[in-house]
């Protein structure tokens, strides 16, 4: 009898299972031939090594949970302690004291033994018993020393130890230069000593682009494409679109008026839209998406590299694309006045914006105009010069605006959440220095594209869920009830109530909170706290629904140039059009999707963190040289050591209590406020304040203010 990992886990995770020795487990699994016994022993040891099973000192195998063990990722802290972020759903974080880390570093995947006295308590503690996988083979930081050796001070503040660099391993690095090192000696239970060697000298911090490159290296983002990928991309440029359109059963839509609407700087244009009014108030919406799956075949070098990257990353001074520019900005991009291969989805909508019918098929299209959000907004706001320039399209944009309004109204009526956050874009000069921070809330032009893409993604997800084929869903699960209890207590400070059973919370209840906060001084912070209380959206092979959109089924289909899950959806759609998945194809797809969607979700988080860190860095740099100037802002957070102020340009800084010299202030944690003992003056969440900029520290990403009124 052949025994695989799934059979072992199915047996061990039975409710009445007791830890067994190898011989007892082999008998229970009916393994008795020599080769099968050897294979089982190898399988069990591999499962122990990877953290799927636990093996006691007595040689008994059992599940981790039942034996007081957990696996997960270690999150370090500057003070030396750490937390285990468990992989098992429903498990809370575990505190790891400095002396219990056993040489484990930040981001390592580890196995932790829970302390017996904390397994049932709120503050769980544990000890690292095994390091399953190191998370930082390379580190980025500042080199201190000379050519004869020195240390690396890591940029990642979760890593509290400096890394020793021997003479001969410096690669010629100079003091204060940014470098990347490879770790050559890991810490262990006996010693915290870490050694490394310099593998790249990135440059001096003041050199143009070095700050962003340092962050790119920190997150392990790629900087170049392999040679094989570039060769494949070069060959694709020679393919003939007109011949492909004739040879395949494609809709020829080159006479259908359609436009792209994107940001001014966008070069990878993967969606175009068209709109026809069929009857009074009834529309036929066309969403036309670049047919990347035609060019990027499964298993090719382009496909393997795109799968590894999983998404494009958009940084203030550059884009790290998922595909080489020949595709992302060239043959796949829906540039105006040229023929392009696409997948077109037509959706018939009634007067309320409800879907009546839909159809989709590969197509060949020709975009008439490349529009920007600013131009569309100007048209809708009555700018005569812009309306004259695009006179033939003005009625279409007005109809698009009307339909987008209907779609949003229908979406909100069913309970979809509508968070209001300002979006900040840092403008850089040619030297990479920030010259402006542009802040904007969602406009009508953005809303048109957002609503059209949302309805298209939902239609595609609904279609394939009904087909019962292996598929990629974009899911957003219900909030953790424990977080909602904390949220309820916080909101009660502002007389905002969460009504109903928190165990059965619905999107409509969250939407009511957003409505109550709208227009109040704490609107932005309530939006922020609510968002933090939500689960994080991710990709899944299971149709778990999308809480934030109040949608039963949702996917990502509309951006295959910059998101790998969208490309997977396009391939499944193509197979369906070509006759459907065979049983063997369906089994293969079902077996690989869990790994692909998990990797895509992980890389999405990496990209978001890198993008956020780069923007925060440039925001801080933008404030350099403005020391002594006064600014108006909103108190965005209050703690025992001071309060945070968010300026109108979204830069956030700290007012430390030591700078509040007009009184002694104590922290009222029940009201999120600092109260002066002598004057009774209050600084509380949502208050508008005037502050003076005192200090900017780009290295620490910090901005410090003094309240003007406190003087």
Spatial contact of 648 and 708, defined as CB atoms under 8 Å apart: no
Cβ neighbours for 68, distance < 8 A, ≥ 6 positions apart: 113, 114, 116, 119
- The reply to whether domains 5-62 and 624-710 share a CATH topology is no
Q: How many CB atoms lie within 10 A of CB 408?
A: 17
> What six digits make up the tokens of 130?
């095994």
Minimal CA–CA distance to 458: which of 562, 540, 550, 589? 550
**Gap between the Cα atoms of 143 and 628, Å rounded:** 32
Which secondary structure element, helix H or strand E, spans residue 653, and what is its range?
strand 652-656
Q: Quote the pLDDT of residue 239.
A: 61
pTM of the predicted structure, to 2 decimals: 0.86
Domain 624-710 sits in CATH 2.40.50.140:
yes
Whole-angstrom distance, CA of residue 656 vs CA of residue 667: 12
Name the CATH architecture for the domain at 5-62: Orthogonal Bundle (1.10)
- At the second CATH level, the architecture of 68-133 is Beta Barrel (2.40)
Contact 380, 398 (CB under 8 A): yes
Identify which has the larger pLDDT, 578 or 396. Answer: 396
Q: Where are the domains of the chain?
A: 5-62, 68-133, 138-204, 227-474+550-614, 478-534, 624-710
Q: How confident is the model at residue 377 (pLDDT cuts 50, 70, 90)?
A: very high
315, 485 contact by CB (below 8 A): no
Q: Are 697 and 643 in contact (CB under 8 A)?
A: no
Digit-coded pLDDT (tens) for 543-556: 999 999 999 999 99
Tokens 């007081």, located at residue: 68
Task: Encode pLDDT of 453-490 as tens digits.
Answer: 999 999 999 999 999 999 999 999 988 777 777 778 77
Phi and psi at 404, nearest 5°, equal: -60, -40
CA 210 centroid distance within chain: 24
Instruction: Using alpha carbons only, give the angle 450, 456, 458 rounded to the nearest 5 degrees.
Output: 100
The band of 195, judged by pLDDT with boundaries at 50, 70 and 90, is very high
Distance CA 250, CA 241 (A): 11
Q: What backbone torsions phi and psi does residue 471 show, to the nearest 5 degrees? A: -150, 165
| Nearest partner of 570 among 471, 504, 481, 651, judged by Cα | 471
Amino acid 711: pLDDT: 40
Residue 204: half-sphere exposure toward Cβ, Cα within 13 Å: 4
Euclidean distance between CA atoms 82 and 98, whole angstroms: 7
How far is residue 573's CA from residue 577's CA, in Å, rounded to a whole number? 6
pLDDT in tens, 695-706: 999 888 899 999
Reported as a single tens digit per residue, the pLDDT across 18-75 is: 888 888 888 888 887 777 888 888 888 888 877 777 787 788 887 776 678 888 899 9
Measure the CA–CA gap between 490 and 304, rounded to whole angstroms: 47
How does pLDDT run across 91-146, given as a tens digit for each residue? 788 999 999 999 999 999 998 988 876 555 557 899 998 898 999 889 999 999 87
For residue 237, name the pLDDT band (cuts at 50, 70, 90). low
The answer to whether residues 527 and 421 touch, using CB atoms and an 8 Å cutoff, is yes
Question: Is residue 689 a contact partner of residue 711, using CB atoms and an 8 Å limit?
Answer: no
Fold of 138-204: OB fold (Dihydrolipoamide Acetyltransferase, E2P) (2.40.50)
């Amino acid at each position: 009898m052949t025994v695989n990992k799934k059979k072992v886990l199915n047996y061990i995770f039975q409710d009445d299972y007791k830890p067994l020795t190898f011989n007892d487990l082999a008998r229970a699994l009916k393994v008795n031939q020599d080769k099968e016994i050897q294979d089982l022993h190898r399988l069990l040891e591999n499962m122990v090594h990877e953290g799927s099973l636990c093996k006691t000192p007595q040689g008994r195998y059992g599940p981790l949970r039942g034996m007081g063990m957990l696996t997960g990722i270690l999150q370090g802290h500057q003070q030396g302690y750490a937390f285990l972020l468990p992989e098992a759903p429903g498990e809370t974080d575990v505190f790891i004291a400095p002396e219990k880390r056993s040489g484990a570093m930040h981001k390592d995947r580890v196995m932790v033994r829970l302390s017996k006295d904390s397994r049932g308590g709120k503050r769980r503690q544990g000890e690292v018993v095994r390091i399953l996988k190191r998370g930082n083979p390379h580190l980025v930081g500042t080199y201190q020393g000379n050519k004869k050796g020195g240390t690396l001070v890591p940029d990642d503040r979760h890593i509290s130890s400096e890394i020793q660099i021997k003479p001969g391993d410096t690669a010629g690095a100079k003091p204060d230069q940014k470098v990347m090192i490879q770790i050559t000696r890991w810490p262990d239970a006996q010693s915290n000593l870490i050694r490394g060697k310099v593998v790249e000298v990135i440059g001096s911090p003041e050199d143009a682009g070095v700050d962003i490159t340092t962050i790119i290296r920190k997150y392990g983002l790629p900087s170049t494409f392999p040679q094989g990928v570039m060769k494949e991309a070069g060959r694709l440029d020679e393919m003939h679109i007109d011949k492909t359109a004739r040879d395949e059963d494609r809709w020829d839509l080159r006479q259908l008026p359609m436009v792209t609407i994107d940001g001014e700087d966008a070069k990878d244009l993967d969606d175009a839209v068209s709109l026809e009014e069929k009857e009074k108030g009834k529309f036929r919406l066309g969403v036309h998406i670049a047919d990347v799956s035609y060019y990027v075949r499964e298993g090719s070098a382009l496909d393997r590299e795109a799968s590894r990257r999983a998404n494009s990353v958009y940084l203030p001074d550059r884009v790290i694309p998922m595909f080489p520019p020949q595709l992302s900005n060239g043959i796949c991009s829906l540039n105006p006045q040229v023929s392009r291969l696409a997948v077109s989805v037509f959706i018939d909508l009634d007067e309320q914006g409800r879907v009546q019918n839909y159809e989709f098929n590969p197509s060949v299209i020709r975009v008439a105009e490349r529009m920007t959000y600013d131009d569309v907004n100007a048209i809708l706001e009555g700018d005569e010069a812009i309306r004259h320039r695009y006179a033939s399209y003005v009625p279409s944009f007005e109809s698009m605006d009307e339909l987008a309004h209907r779609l949003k109204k229908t979406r909100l009526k069913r309970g979809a959440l509508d968070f209001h956050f300002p979006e900040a874009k840092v403008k850089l000069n040619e030297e990479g220095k920030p010259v402006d921070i542009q802040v904007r809330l969602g406009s009508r032009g953005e809303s048109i594209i957002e609503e059209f893409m949302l309805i298209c993604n939902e239609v595609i997800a609904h279609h394939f869920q009904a087909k019962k084929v292996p598929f990629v869903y974009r899911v957003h699960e219900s909030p953790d009830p424990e977080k909602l209890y904390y949220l309820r207590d916080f909101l009660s400070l502002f007389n905002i109530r969460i009504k109903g059973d928190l165990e059965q919370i619905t999107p409509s209840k969250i939407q009511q909170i957003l409505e109550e906060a709208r227009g109040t001084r704490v609107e932005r912070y309530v939006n922020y706290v609510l968002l933090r209380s939500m689960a994080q959206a991710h990709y899944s092979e299971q149709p778990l629904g999308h809480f934030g959109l109040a949608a039963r089924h949702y996917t990502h289909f509309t951006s295959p140039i910059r998101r790998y899950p969208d490309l997977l959806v396009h391939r499944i759609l193509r197979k369906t059009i070509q006759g459907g998945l065979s049983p063997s194809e369906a089994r293969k797809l079902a077996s690989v999707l869990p790994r692909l969607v998990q990797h895509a979700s992980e890389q999405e988080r990496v990209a978001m963190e890198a993008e956020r860190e780069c923007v925060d860095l440039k925001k801080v740099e933008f404030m350099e040289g403005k020391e002594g100037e006064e600014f108006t802002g909103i108190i965005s957070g209050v703690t025992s050591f001071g309060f945070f102020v968010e300026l109108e340009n979204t830069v956030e800084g700290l007012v430390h209590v030591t700078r509040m010299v007009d009184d002694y202030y104590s922290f009222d944690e029940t009201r999120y406020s600092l109260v002066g003992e002598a004057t009774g003056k209050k600084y509380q969440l949502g208050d508008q304040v005037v502050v003076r900029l005192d200090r900017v520290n780009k290295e620490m990403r910090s901005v410090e203010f003094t309240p003007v009124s406190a003087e």
